[in-house]
Amino acid sequence: MNYAKRTLVILAGLACLAASSQAQITFSGLPSDITQIEPAEVQVQNSNLGDSNLQGVGPLSYTESFTLNNAANTIIKATVDEVLSGVSYGSLSLKAYINGTQFYGSSVTNTDATGGTETALADSGYANLSLGPGSYTVTYTATYSGQSSSLPSYGYINSFNAYFQENNQNPPPPVPEPASFAVIGIGLIGICARRRGVK
């Protein structure tokens, strides 16, 4: 096998390695306020559930869904990190589901009768999962209830992050960019050309 063919074989092997190292978790159908911030992580940020013009209104809620696509390995964990804030009076709760089964939930309540103090909650946790290859519907439901008829009533989700983890691995290390492989390939071609020149 000549040097050119040998170099092509090496580059093809590196390309296969890069493809196999890519995250196997992808998302589709993300609503406008849900952003993918890492290969296997999404974030909901600044979702308002009410303001001072909604005094006396009953429970407010919103539900949003998207699809979690798992290409290969089993997903074993969902790790979450959230901040619920700006609750002037009443209760704000957040729940997350996969195919209708809840995997996370938390809430914050403010009973300050003066309405002058806002209450916030910073919370985190994880849920053990067993999701084989396939597509799953992830749903977030936030509910704000118990508003006062006379006090300013509002609350919002400052941020909610969810990371889905495969097997028993930590978040995957950065995968070399295609440009890195190009540099490696150029180096290999140079080495081969130099050897041929020496001969």
Q: What does pLDDT average to over the chain?
A: 76
Mean local confidence (pLDDT), 30-53: 82
* pLDDT for 179: 53
Strand 90-98 to strand 75-87: parallel, antiparallel, or no bridges (unpaired)? unpaired
Q: What end-to-end distance do the CA atoms of the chain give, in Å?
A: 16
- All structural domains of the chain with their residue ranges: 1-22+175-199, 24-171
Q: Is the pLDDT of residue 6 over 70?
A: no
**What DSSP string describes 84-131?**
EEEE-SEEEEEEEEETTEEEEEEEEEE--TTS---EEEEEEEEEEEEE
Q: What is the pLDDT of residues 66-86, one digit of tens each?
A: 999 999 889 999 999 988 877
* Residue 172: how many other CB atoms lie within 10 Å: 16
**pTM (2 d.p.):** 0.70
Mean local confidence (pLDDT), 33-53: 80
Mean local confidence (pLDDT), 17-22: 47
Please indicate whether residue 120 or residue 10 has the higher confidence score (pLDDT).
120
CATH code for the structural domain at 24-171: 2.60.120
For CA atoms 71, 68, 30, 170, the dihedral sign is negative
Mean local confidence (pLDDT), 119-146: 91
Q: Is the pLDDT of residue 161 over 90?
A: yes
Q: Is the pLDDT of residue 187 over 70?
A: no
